[in-house]
Amino acid sequence: MSNVATMDINTPRGFLCVSTSEATALDCIGYPGHCGGLSNVAGIIAELAESMKSDKLVTAAKACPISWVQRLGYILELVGAEDLKKVLASYVAKHAKAPALLDPYLRHTPTTYLRTWKLLLNKKVQFEK
């Protein structure tokens, strides 16, 4: 918990410490089963991307498994968040040593390998802009 990027928000009852948009996106991609599946996570990330900052995204990525960053990069590409996608592509190129599965809980044979993300697509993500 101490490594998660947070921010304070003001409420009528005082300040609350909450996860940043960047950290929330990584948590959602890390635990897609708790968020309604990868297609639902793509919708959440599309909304969060509007408030994400590139430098904060890299900072949040450092506190997560690299496979989460690989998956988030692909989803950011899917939802059209180009600036954020570029920052994570550079991060993945430097830090990812092995391919990851898009859906780590699904053992279907991957059909596509995405070199940029070092990601094996074993699930189709449904997302409409």
113 contacts 119 by C-beta, under 8 angstroms:
yes
Residue 12 domain-assigned?
no
Residue 14 belongs to a domain: no
Predicted pLDDT of residue 51: 95
Report if residue 128 sits inside a domain.
no
How far is 36 from 128, CA to CA, in rounded Å? 16
Domain membership of residue 126 (yes or no) is no
Q: Which residues of 9-41 are buried (b: 16+ CB within 10 A; e: fewer)?
A: eeeeeeeeeebbbbbbbbbbbbebeebeebeeb
The CA distance from 72 to 25, in Å, is 8
Provide the residue count of the chain: 129
Indicate whether 81 belongs to any domain.
yes
Does 90 reside within a domain? yes
pLDDT in tens, the chain (129 residues): 566 667 777 888 888 777 789 999 999 999 999 999 999 999 999 999 999 999 999 999 999 999 999 999 999 999 999 999 999 999 999 999 999 999 988 877 777 999 999 999 999 998 877
Instruction: Domain of residue 54: give its range.
Output: 21-121
pLDDT given for residue 3 in this prediction: 66
pLDDT at 2: 61
> 92 in a domain, yes or no?
yes
In a domain, 69, yes or no: yes
Q: How many domains does the chain have?
A: 1
